[in-house]
Chains A and B, each alone.
Chain A
Amino acid sequence: MAKIDIHVNILRYQPDSDEKPHWQEFAISVDDDSTILDVLNEIHWKHDGTLAYRRSCRSSICGSCAMKVNGRNVLACETPIHRFGRKFKIEPLSGFQIIKDLVVDLDPFFEKLKRIKPFLIVDKPLPDKEFVQTPEQLEQIGESTLCILCAACSAACPSSWPNSEYLGPAALLKAYRFVFDSRDDCADDRLEIVNDKNGVWRCHTIFNCMEACPKKIKITEYLSRLKLKVVENSL
């Protein structure tokens, strides 16, 4: 471990004083094994306390710190700076309104989630113990339950940018997660909700979401399976 000098450009926006976002460069010295989050903390704690960003767990599971580094959506906490060299730029996720600096308004993201009934719905009587679900049945949904709702996928989706009504990859992945859960009894309702020009059909299999996903979930593939299910269901 050694100290290195880096130049970080951050897209700043202070709602009390700025009319629009602008770049600010910070020249600082950090450990060479630092993460992007370490860099933000260093700036915030030692140089400029006004810098705002979200962070919590530091271990890639809470989903707070999704942001754009050199144009790529990443989780700041798990991303080492050596991927980007000694000069790089950090900006907030695209497609969301900026509240301040790197903090964006994710309320629309969570509102979309609510539209697909994002919870298991069981009509049959509950068993005394657990539902039987085989490892093969679990396999259908296993990877999709890794989603941490960080919004990196939706922010990377060109179909989402021009159309605020589009459900987007995260909400659709959540729909997939319940439609394909062997315990759920509400697939028909969900398939009807996503069978819409602002549902699965707005996904043009661009694969940006998959590339952006820090959990490496094969989102586009699951959305394709969801499309297939919609078609099967309407035949």
Chain B
Amino acid sequence: MKIEEARNYHQIDAVIVGAGLAGLRAALQVAKSGLTAAVITKVYPTRSHSGGAQGGIAAALANVSEDSLEAHMFDTIKGSDYLADQDVVERFVNEALKTVYEFEHMGVPFSRTKDGRINQRPFGGHSQPRACFAQDITGHVLLHTLFEQCLRHNVLFFNEFQVLSLQIKDDVCRGLVAWDIRTGGLHIFQAKAVLLATGGYGRAWKVTSNAHANTGDGVALVLEAGLPLEDMEFVQFHPTGLYKHGILLSEAARGEGAYIVNDKGERFMKTYAAAKMELAPRDVVSRAEQTEINEGRGIQGQDYVYLDLRHLGKEKILSRLPQIHDLALNYLKVDAITDPVPIQPTAHYSMGGIPANLNTEVIKNAAGQVVKGLYTAGEASCLSLHGANRLGTNSLQDAATFGRIAGSHMTDYCRKNAFADLPAKPLEAAQAKIDRLFAGGKERHADIREELQVNMTRNMGVFRNQDGMLKMLAVIKELQDRYQQAGVDDKGLAFNLDLIEALELENLLSFSEVIVEGALARKESRGAHFRSDFPKRDDGNWLKHTLAWRRDGKIVMDYSKAVVIYPQYQPQERKY
């Protein structure tokens, strides 16, 4: 039988992997043009982790203060510790206002000023109140609104599908193969254009704000396809993770005026960022927090400090920050109105990812040659907009804006190109992954994942050094070996969570090696990547992007992809 006649074969113009903000915004753009767009997602679309974003979406609307595109651009570049590509930042700030107004026209229930305009609040690293927000559920309402508009425009959804291989030959992406989680079985999707919008890779850490789903699947697929990843060593630690759980308490708390204090009751940010205090960028605040903890000034000498909202008063807490109040109450039995909330740094955002150009086309080398028909946007991508450290509220804006840009370019590409033939035996690689796990060995994949996560939190956290990273590399190698003996308890086809988690673990083990190798090689401290043994930024040697491939079982690096820097935004010392 020919592939095209198989029951589980689909031919669709644009296939979008991931149903977060980037994926849905791209799908909407394609569908509105009249072409067919399908979203493949491992969870129901409204379960995507864009919904976990709380504080806001950045745009210099200037509704509550003087603001400008230039200011947004400079803040983003400075926040990135000068590793962001400035042409990307320029495009981003130029499109940001349009993105927010579009969302408002789609029905997003933004919080309002007294005169009925979109309200804005301060956020870390932004020089003006620039975060457009809906209470502290901004990501949730943006995600649901986009999902609604996708329903309106007949986007196709393949819910609960796990993508297992990309179909790329001769630098042309021809589609992908995915596992139907609900009933079991592989499906072939032949597509003219594929978007990888699979989100971040924070699940490699034990203490993380990320959802169970954030296992960097798209990133791992690209690596597996012989393509490079960019700047993977840059991972943001959010300073206000709920103690022990790691789940997010929005920076909006500090935007509204909350303090962070140590065991002595001191607002210790005065020592680290006297001008901006708690509203310094996240890398700065997380380092300050970890320093306090390391030097014994955590609460009762333990590994946490306090987020103190009490002075904001009950009314403000319940009207502006109700989710934060609920989370602290439900998870730690702490009422933020009357008591300070225990917090610790938590792995939060992946600055690195799949390298792409300004049109969101995936590139295969430092010269910028593209893989035709393959696109990426949102946290999975590295354009690089955020450089070495992202500012809060720039991520929702990034996902939506570059999601729309991706959708436009995919539409053009689909119009100009026919379906490319699938490679021979498209199912082979995916089937092999499934077969091996079903055949199974004695190792439990959950044990391997636990060891990876615990060690990543220990060795690849806010502060890094060569010894820890070399240990981490050895741990990863050992775990990769053990994974070869891993099996699953569940041999069934329907909703096999055991199988999905085992497949995800392969991804975690794969890209974690790139993170560590990249961090080991980068002998400087920049943004979220801080090395105790090389505590200074080194522009002379390291103002450049990392591209990393897996070749013959080894990670190889290329540093010839230069950072795009405009004359008016030259690197300066970064102080807050």
Interface residues of A (CB under 8 A from B): 14-17, 35, 44-46, 48-64, 78-80, 99-101, 103, 106, 110, 113-114, 117-120, 122, 126, 128-135, 137-138, 141-142, 145-149, 178, 181, 183-184
**In this assembly, does B7 line the interface, its C-beta being within 8 Å of a C-beta of chain A?**
no
B497 adjacent to A145 (CB under 8 Å) = no
A100 adjacent to B151 (CB under 8 Å) = no
A residues near B144, Cβ cutoff 8 Å: 145, 147, 149
B107 adjacent to A134 (CB under 8 Å) = no
- Chain B, residues 126-154, CB within 8 Å of chain A (1/0): the string is 00000000110100110011001101100
Partner of A57, one of B47, B450, B495: B47
**In the bound complex, CA of A184 to CA of B492 (Å):** 47
Interface residues of B (CB under 8 A from A): 43-44, 46-49, 51-52, 61, 100-101, 104-107, 109-112, 114-118, 134-135, 137, 140-141, 144-145, 148-149, 151-152, 182, 211-213, 245, 247-248, 323, 326-327, 330-331, 444, 446, 450, 488-490, 492-498
**In the bound complex, CA of A234 to CA of B182 (Å):** 44
**In the bound complex, CA of A118 to CA of B149 (Å):** 8
B49 adjacent to A62 (CB under 8 Å) = yes
Partner of A149, one of B46, B49, B116: B46
B residues near A46, Cβ cutoff 8 Å: 444, 446
B residues near A100, Cβ cutoff 8 Å: 492, 494-495
A131 and B44 in contact (CB under 8 A), knowing A46-B446, A59-B247, A59-B248? Answer: no
Partner of A184, one of B101, B107, B497: B107
**In the bound complex, CA of A100 to CA of B152 (Å):** 31
Most buried by B among A45, A59, A133: A59
A62 adjacent to B46 (CB under 8 Å) = yes
Most buried by A among B104, B107, B141, B211: B107
Residue of B nearest to A183 (CB): B107
A120 adjacent to B107 (CB under 8 Å) = yes
B110 adjacent to A61 (CB under 8 Å) = no
**In the bound complex, CA of A54 to CA of B495 (Å):** 9
Distance in angstroms from B303 CB to nearest chain A CB is 14
Residue of B nearest to A215 (CB): B326
B47 adjacent to A15 (CB under 8 Å) = no
Distance in angstroms from A179 CB to nearest chain B CB is 12
**In the bound complex, CA of A110 to CA of B44 (Å):** 10
B497 adjacent to A53 (CB under 8 Å) = yes
Residue of B nearest to A16 (CB): B492
Residue of A nearest to B497 (CB): A52
A138 and B109 in contact (CB under 8 A), knowing A45-B446, A56-B213, A58-B247? Answer: yes
Instruction: Name 9 interchain pairs, CB-CB below 8 A, sorted by A.
Output: A15-B492, A50-B498, A59-B248, A61-B137, A63-B47, A130-B118, A138-B111, A145-B134, A148-B140
Distance in angstroms from A47 CB to nearest chain B CB is 9
Residue of B nearest to A62 (CB): B47
Residue of A nearest to B492 (CB): A16
B110 adjacent to A130 (CB under 8 Å) = yes
A56 adjacent to B446 (CB under 8 Å) = no
A residues near B116, Cβ cutoff 8 Å: 132-135, 137
B residues near A17, Cβ cutoff 8 Å: 492
Most buried by A among B51, B116, B149, B248: B116
A52 adjacent to B496 (CB under 8 Å) = yes
Nearest 4 pairs of A and B residues by beta carbon? A49-B489, A120-B107, A45-B446, A132-B116
A residues near B247, Cβ cutoff 8 Å: 57-59
**In the bound complex, CA of A101 to CA of B348 (Å):** 31
Distance in angstroms from A187 CB to nearest chain B CB is 13
A residues near B118, Cβ cutoff 8 Å: 130
Distance in angstroms from A61 CB to nearest chain B CB is 5
A119 and B149 in contact (CB under 8 A), knowing A57-B49, A60-B330? Answer: yes
B327 adjacent to A59 (CB under 8 Å) = yes
A44 and B110 in contact (CB under 8 A), knowing A62-B49, A130-B101? Answer: no
Residue of A nearest to B149 (CB): A119
Partner of B330, one of A64, A78, A99: A78
